[in-house]
Structure 1
Amino acid sequence: MDRNPFLSLLKNPSGVFRKDELGIEIAQIAVPAALALTADPIASLVDTAFIGHIGSVELAAVGVAIAVINQASKVAIFPLVSVTTSLVAEEDAIGNSRNGYRELETIEKNLATDDERDQLNPRVGVGNSKRHISSAASAMAIGSALGLVQALILICAAKPILSYMGVSSNSPMMRPALKYLTLRSLGAPAVLLSLAMQGVFRGFKDTKTPLYATLIGDVANVILDPIFIFLFGFGVSGAAVAHVISQYLISLILLWRLMEQVDLLPPTIKDLQLSRFLKNGFLLLFRVIAATFCVTLAASLAAKLGSISMAAFQICLQVWLASSLLADGLAVAGQAILANAFARGDYEMVKAATSRVLQLTLVIGLFLSFVVWFLLRILVQLFTKDAHVLTVLQLGIPFVAMTQPINSLAFVFDGLNYGASDFAFSAYSMVSVALLSVVWLLLLYSSNGFVGIWLALSLFMSLRALIGFLRVWTKSGPWSFLRGSTEQSL
C-alpha cells in the first residue's frame, strides 16, 4: 500500500481516459452536468456582449447587478443543491439496496419479458413506478420559500445594496443597475426552485434532464435578448426580462419531468427530513457566504476604481467563472458517485472514483488554461470596443487563464467532500480561507489596484484547493478509512 493515497495520482496517467465502467459513468454524469453548469454563465456572457454594445456605463452597471444576484443566489441555492444531491443519492442507494433482491426475485418469478421487467424496476422511474424520495419534496419546499424571500429582499433593498457595492446615488451606473437588479430579482423563485430540482436529478445521477431544460431556457434567452434590448428599445431592462422568462421556462420543464419520476408528496411531515436539511444547509450557508463574499468584495472594489475597471473586471469574471465551471461537472459526478458509494459502504469505489476524477480534473484544468489564454485574447473585442476597457482587460487575462487548473481542483475537492457528507469541515475551512483572503484582497487592492484584485482572487482559489488536498492527504474525517486499507490506495 502507498504511504499516501495521493501518490497514486502520478501512476498510470495513460489510464485517465479509460472507457471502463467507472469512466463511462463519470462521463455520463460529468459531461451533461458541465454543459448545464456553463450554459447559464454563457447566457450571461451573451447578455454582457449585447449590453457592451449599448455602452461601457451600462456594461459596468450590469456587472455590479449580476455580482449582487450571483451572491444572493449562491448564498441561497448552493447549500440546498449540494445537500439535496447527497441526501437524494444516499436515499436512492439505500432504498435500492433494501428492495433490490426482493424486487428482482418477484420479477423473475412473475414476468416473462424484458419490457415488463423494465417497467417495474424502481431505478428507472417510468411507467406507473415512481421513486419515493422524501428529500426531493424537502428540497423543493425549501427552494420555493427561499426564492420568494430572496426576491422580496433584493427588490426592496436594491438601492442600498448597490450603494454598498460602490455605486453611489449620483453615479451614472445607478439607474441602469437598479433597473436590471430589480427586474432580474423577479426570477429568483424560478431560479431557486429549478436549481433545487437539478439537485434531485443529480442525486439520481441524471444530469441530462437538467441540461436539456437549461439549454431550452438559455436559447430562449439568447433569442429574446436582441428583441427586447434593441428591437423594443428596452436596453438593460430588456436583457433582464429575457433572462427572467428563460428561468421560468427552465423551472416548468424540470417540474414536469420530475413529477413523472418522483412521488412529491411524502407520507408524513417527518419524512421531509427538514432538520437534516437545515443542519447541513446552515453549515454550507456559512461556507457559501464566506466564499462569495470574497468575489463580491472584489467586484465592489473594482467598481470603486471606476466604470472602465468595472467593465473589464466583469468580462474577466464572467469568462473566469464560465470556463472554471466546466470542471465543476466532474465535481457533480464525484459527489453523486461518492455519496452513493459511501451509503453502500463501498470504499473501493470511493477510492477508484476519487483517483479518476482528480486525474481528469488536472487534465481539464491545464486544457482550459491554454484555451482561455488564446481565445480570450482573440475574441475579447466581442464584448466591448472601448479602447480603455480593452487596455485594462489585458491585465486580467493572465490571471483568468493561469488559475484554471487551480480553480478546477478547488471545485472538484468541494464535490468530493460533499459526496462524503463532510459538510462541517467544508464550512469551517472555507470561513478560515475567506478571512485570510479578504485581508489579502484589501491589502493588494490598496497597493496594486486592478492587478491586486486578481492576485488576491488567485490566492483565494489556491487556498481552497490546498485545503481540499490536505483533507484527503491526511486521511482525516470521512477519509479515515484509508488508514486501514490493505489494498493499493486509490
Structure 2
Amino acid sequence: MTDKLEDGTFSDNRSTPVSICFKDLRSVFKLDELGMEIARIAFPAALALTADPIASLVDTAFIGQIGPIELAAVGVSIALFNQVSRIAIFPLVSVTTSFVAEEDTITDAGPHDTIKEIETLENGLTLDSEKNMLIPLNEQTSKSFDIAKDEQRKKNIPSASSALIIGGVLGIIQAVFLILAAKPLLSFMGVKSDSEMLYPAQEYLKLRSLGAPAVLLSLAMQGVFRGLKDTKTPLFATVFGDVANIVLDPIFIFVFKMEVRGAAIAHVISQYLISGILFWRLKEQVDLIPPTLKYLQFGRFLKNGFLLLTRVIAVTFCVTLAASMAARMGSTEMAAFQVCLQVWLATSLLADGLAVAGQAILASAFARNDYDWATLTASRVLQLGLALGLVLALFLGFGLHFGARIFTKDAEVLRLIGVGIPFVAATQPINALAFVFDGVNFGASDFAYSAFSMVIVAIISIIALFILSSSNGYVGIWIALTIYMSLRALAGFWRIGTGTGPWKFLRRYS
C-alpha cells in the first residue's frame, strides 16, 4: 500500500522509481476511470495520426502503378516534405498540447485572470495543492456572476491563439523555402541533376509545398484540441480530408493524366479541407482574438519550442540521412526503402495516440500537483504501449509479406521490401515505447532533457548509419535505424527510472 503525503508524494518504502513501469501491471487493460480517459483520448488520436501516413501510402500505391522511377521520386519528395514539416511544427504541437492542458485545468479550477495564471506556470508554479486553484486577481468580482458568465462565453486559452499565429507564419515560410530550394534539397537527398528521378521529384515537391500553410495550421490546431482532451474533432477533420485525397488521387493521376502532379494537387486540396474544418470547430469553443500581445505568451513558446526544435532537428536528421543513403544506392533501393519506411511510421504512430493521451492527462495532473494520478497514468500508457508494439510486430511480420504487392510489382523492389520486413516488424515494441516515453516526458514539461538526450542519441545513430550503410548497404541502414529507436526508448526510460527532473518525487517512495 502507499500513503499520500501532504505534498502529493508517496511514502511506500518498498518502491523505487523504476517500478513505475510495472505498477498495477494486472490492470493494464482495465477500463476504470483512467483506462476510459486514456481510451477516449488515445483511440481517436491514433486514428488521426495514422490518417496522413495512410494517405501517403495511398499516394505511394497509386504512383507505384506508374513506374518504379516515379515511386522512388515521390518517396524522396514525401520524406523531404515531412521532415521539413516536422522541424517546423513538432515543437509547436508538443508545447501547445502541454500548455493548453495546463491552462484548461486552471480555467476549470475556477474563474480567474488568465494571464496571471499562465505567468505562474511560466515561473514554474502550479495550482495551490490545498485549494486546487490560484488566487483570483480581482477579489471584488462576484464569483457567481463570473461563473454564470463563464458558462456562456468561449474559453480563454492564450496558447491557442499563439499556436495559430506561429503555425501560419511557419507554414508560409516553409512553402517559400521548399519551392525556392527544391533542387538543392533534392540533391542533398541524393537526387542529382543527372538522375531520372529529379524532374518528377521536383514537380511533386513544389506542388505539395503549396499546402504547407494548411498542414502547419491544421497540426497547430490539433495540438490545441489535444490539450483540451478532444481528439475526436481532429479525427473527423483528418478522415474527411484524407478520404477526399483518396477519391481525388485516381481522378487527377489517371483520368486527367497528371501523374505525380495529380497526386500532389489532390494532397494539397485535402490539407486545406482539414485546416478549414478544424478552424471552424475551434473558433466555436475558444476565443481566438487576443486582447493584448502579452496575452499570447510568445516568450514561453519560444523558450520551450527552441528546446524541442533542437530535439526534432536531431530526430529529423537521422531519418532524412537514412532516406538519403537509400536514394544514393539507386531508385530500386529507394523505392523499397520508401514502402518500408511509410509502413514503419504509419504503424508506429498508433503508439503516438497513447503518447498524446499520456501527455494531456499528465500535464493536467502536474498542473494540480496530483502525483498519484501522474504515476498511475505514466505506468498505464507505458504498459499499453508495449502491448501495442507486440501486437503490431506480429501483424506486420506476417501481413507485410502479402501486402507488399499493393505498392509495386517490380520483382527487385519486392525482394528488397522482403529484406526490410523483419526490421519493420521487430522494432515495433521498441518504437511504441520510444513514442510513449516522449509523450510522458512532454506531459511533465521535461523539454530540456528531451532535447539534450536526443542530441546524444542522434550523434551515436548518425555514426552507426555511416559505418553500417557502408559495410552492409541496404541492410545496414535498417540495423542503424533499429539502434536509433532503441536508444530513444532507453533515453526515455532513464529519466523516469532514475527518478530525476520532474520525476524526482518518485525517489520519495524509498
Matched, 1:357 2:381: yes
1:65 aligns with 2:77: yes
Say whether the 8 Å CA contact 1:358–1:412 is kept in structure 2. Answer: yes
**Within 5 A, what are the aligned runs for 1:464-483?**
464-483=488-507
RMSD: 1.9
* Partners of 2:33 and 2:259 in 1: CA distance: 50
- Partner AA of 1:20 in structure 2: D
1:212 corresponds, among 225, 232, 236, to 236
Residue type of the partner of 1:61? A
Which residue of structure 2 aligns with residue 114 of structure 1? none
* Distance 1:399-1:107 versus aligned 2 partners, 3 A rule: farther
- C-alpha change, 1:145 and 1:8, in structure 2 (3 Å) is closer
- SS at the partner of 2:110? helix
Q: Please name the residue that 1:260 is paired with.
A: 284
Partner of 2:462: 438
How far apart, CA to CA, are the structure 1 residues paired with 2:234 and 2:22?
Answer: 34
In the alignment, the residues of structure 1 paired with residue 293 and residue 143 of structure 2 have an alpha-carbon distance, to the nearest angstrom, of: 36
Contact 1:56 1:386 (C-alpha < 8 Å) held by counterparts: yes
Deviations 1:178-210 (A, max 9, x none): 000000000000000010000000000000000
1:3 positional shift: 3.8
Moved over 6 A (4+): 100-103, 106-110
Distance 1:130 1:465 in 2: 40
In structure 1, the residue matched to 2:28 is 16
Task: Give aligned-pair identity as a percent.
Answer: 66
Q: Distance in 1 between matches of 2:418 and 2:142?
A: 64
Match of 2:117 in 1: none
* 1:88 pairs with one of 87, 95, 100: 100
> Aligned residue for 1:394?
418
Q: Distance in 2 between matches of 1:386 and 1:426?
A: 41
**Contact between 1:413 and 1:469, CA under 8 Å: does it hold in 2?**
yes
Q: 2:247 aligns with which of 215, 219, 223?
A: 223
- Establish whether residue 418 from structure 1 lines up as the match of residue 454 from structure 2: no
Matched, 1:32 2:56: no
In structure 2, the residue matched to 1:283 is 307
Relative to structure 1, the CA distance from residue 277 to residue 11 in structure 2 (aligned partners, 3 Å threshold; closer, same or farther) is: closer
CA distance in 1, matches of 2:54, 2:201: 20
Equivalent position of 1:377 in the other structure = 401
C-alpha distance in 2 between matches for 1:352 and 1:11: 7
Alpha-carbon shift at residue 96 of structure 1 (Å): 1.5
Give the aligned partner of residue 113 of structure 1.
none
TM-score by length of 2: 0.90
Do 2:16 and 2:507's aligned partners in 1 also have CA atoms closer than 8 Å?
Answer: no
Deviations 1:92-126 (A, max 9, x none): 111211339999xx99989xxxxxx9x9775xxxx
Three-state SS of the structure 2 residue aligned to 1:265 is coil
Amino acid of the residue matched to residue 201 of structure 1? Answer: F
In structure 2, what residue type is equivalent to 1:420?
A
Q: After TM superposition, give the deviation of residue 392 of structure 1 in Å.
A: 1.0
- Does structure 1 retain, via aligned residues, the 8 Å contact 2:18–2:498? no
Amino acid in structure 1 at the alignment position of 2:76: V
Mapping 1:8-407, distance limit 5 Å = 9-10=21-22, 12-99=24-111, 122=151, 128-407=152-431
Distance change in 2, residues 1:449/1:190 (3 Å)? same
What is the identity, as a one-letter code, of the residue corresponding to 2:49? L
Residue identity opposite 2:485 in structure 1: M
**Which residue pairs with 2:9 in the alignment?**
none
Q: Which amino acid aligns with 1:52?
A: G
Separation of aligned partners in 2, 1:12 and 1:438: 38
Cα contact 1:338–1:416 (8 A) shared by 2: yes
How many residue pairs get aligned? The number is: 472
Q: Which amino acid aligns with 1:26?
A: I
Query: What letter corresponds to residue 434 of structure 2 in structure 1?
Result: A
- The Cα of 1:266 is off from its aligned counterpart by 1.9
How far apart in 2 are the matches of 1:379 and 1:108? 61
Distance (whole Å) between structure 2 residues aligned to residue 301 and residue 278 of structure 1:
33
Displacement of 1:6:
3.0
Q: Distance in 2 between matches of 1:120 and 1:483?
A: 44
Distance in 2 separating the partners of 1:174 and 1:298: 19
Q: Which residue of 2 aligns with 1:427?
A: 451
Given that 1:132 and 1:266 are in contact with CA atoms closer than 8 Å, whether structure 2 keeps it comes out as no
Distance 1:199 1:8 in 2: 27
- Contact kept, 8 Å, 1:434 with 1:460, in 2: the verdict is yes
Q: 1:430 corresponds to which letter in structure 2?
A: M
1:370 maps to amino acid: L
Q: Secondary structure at the match of 1:17?
A: coil
2:258 is paired with a residue whose SS is: coil
Name the CA distance, whole Å, in 1 between partners of 2:308 and 2:24: 35
Cα gap change, 1:108/1:23 in structure 2, threshold over 3 Å: closer, same or farther?
farther
Residue number in structure 1 paired with 2:114:
none
- Name the CA distance, whole Å, in 2 between partners of 1:152 and 1:480: 45
Worse-matched range after superposition: 477-486 or 310-319: 477-486
AA aligned opposite 1:32: P
Question: What SS does the aligned partner of 2:203 have?
Answer: helix
Q: Report the TM-score, using the length of structure 1 for normalisation.
A: 0.94
Distance 2:436 2:212 in 1: 27
How far apart, CA to CA, are the structure 1 residues paired with 2:21 and 2:166?
Answer: 39
**1:393 CA drift (Å):** 1.0
Q: How far 1:7 moved relative to its partner? A: 2.8
Take 1:267 and 1:255, find their aligned partners in 2: how far apart are those partners? 19
- 2:22–2:379 contact (8 Å) kept in structure 1: no
Partner residue in 2 for 1:125 = none
C-alpha displacement of 1:265: 1.2
Structure 2 residue identity aligned to 1:55: G
Distance 1:266 1:347, change over 3 A: same
Q: Deviations over 1:460-485 (max 9, x none)?
A: 00000000000000000000111224
Q: Residues of 2 paired with 1:107 and 1:86: CA distance?
A: 30
* Aligned amino acid, residue 100 of structure 2: V
